[in-house]
Amino acid sequence: MIKVLTAEFVTTSTKLEEFPRHPIPEVAFVGRSNVGKSSMINALAHRKKLVRVSNTPGRTKTLNFFDVTLEHRAKKKVVRLCDLPGYGFAKVGKEERLAWDRMIDVYLKNRHTLKVVVTIIDAEVGPTPDDVEMLDFLQDKPPRILVVATKLDRLNKAARKPRLDQIRTQLELPANSLLGFSAHENLGRDEVWGTLLGILA
């Protein structure tokens, strides 16, 4: 049983020198705009409003850091979560889009405390070309990659496993390397935390 003891906002950043300096193991969340990153982080943190949730694509324009204290097997562990700006169809200008891309690139290449990148796929929509491009970009980076298909509640229960198998095949992922998740149904939270803690250990 994994229990969340505390969850708090740390800081918001756009530059390398602004990133938190404490050597806490970090997990980043990436995905296309409006894929459900904020809702997923809120669900993992057992908080409704830790991260602002918006229906407007491209609302997150900075790197937002949060510290979550967990209790697992009678031990406490602090994990830092980083919510990255979404990629894909956000309606922003070209210059702003390039600035976002540079910011994310600097973070992923230079963040030594970053241990895992959770790449979020919309289970209903499936992998987009932007998702595939991001996964290709992450392949040669040091952090481990965990792929999670979210918004699973939008599919009927009988269709969920076949859909996950389809996404896994499309992305050419190994068996058991894709997790399903639904913030609305509180589905997959323990599995995601269990996998993350296993990697961080």
Instruction: Output the domain CATH number for residue 102.
Output: 3.40.50.300
Top pLDDT among 48 and 159 is at: 159
> pLDDT, tens digit, for every residue of 65-96?
999 999 988 899 999 999 988 876 555 667 77
Q: For residue 24, what pLDDT is reported?
A: 94
Q: What is the mean pLDDT of residues 20-25?
A: 90
Give the residue, 147 or 48, on which the prediction is more confident: 147
Q: What is the mean pLDDT of residues 194-199?
A: 94
Q: What is the mean pLDDT of residues 11-23?
A: 87
Q: Which residues contact 150 (CB under 8 A, 6 or more apart)?
A: 31, 35, 36, 39, 40, 120, 121, 122, 123, 181, 182, 183
The strands making up 75-83's β-sheet, listed across from edge to edge, are 2-13, 63-72, 75-83, 26-31, 114-122, 144-150, 178-180
Q: What is the mean pLDDT of residues 180-197?
A: 94
pLDDT for position 117: 95
Residue 152: give the domain boundaries.
2-200
For a pLDDT cut of 70, what percent of the chain falls above it?
93
Region 38-64: mean pLDDT is: 77
Q: For residue 55, is pLDDT > 70? A: no
Please indicate, yes or no, whether the overall pTM of this predicted structure exceeds 0.85. yes
Number of domains in the chain: 1
pLDDT at 95 (0 to 100): 75
| Residue 76 confidence (pLDDT) | 94
Report how far residue 170's alpha carbon sits from residue 127's, in angstroms, rounded to the nearest whole number.
8
Average pLDDT, the chain: 88
Q: How far apart are CA 87 and CA 37, in angstroms?
A: 11
Provide the pLDDT for residue 54.
52
- For the chain, the first-to-last Cα distance in angstroms comes to 16
Q: Percentage of the chain with pLDDT > 90?
A: 56
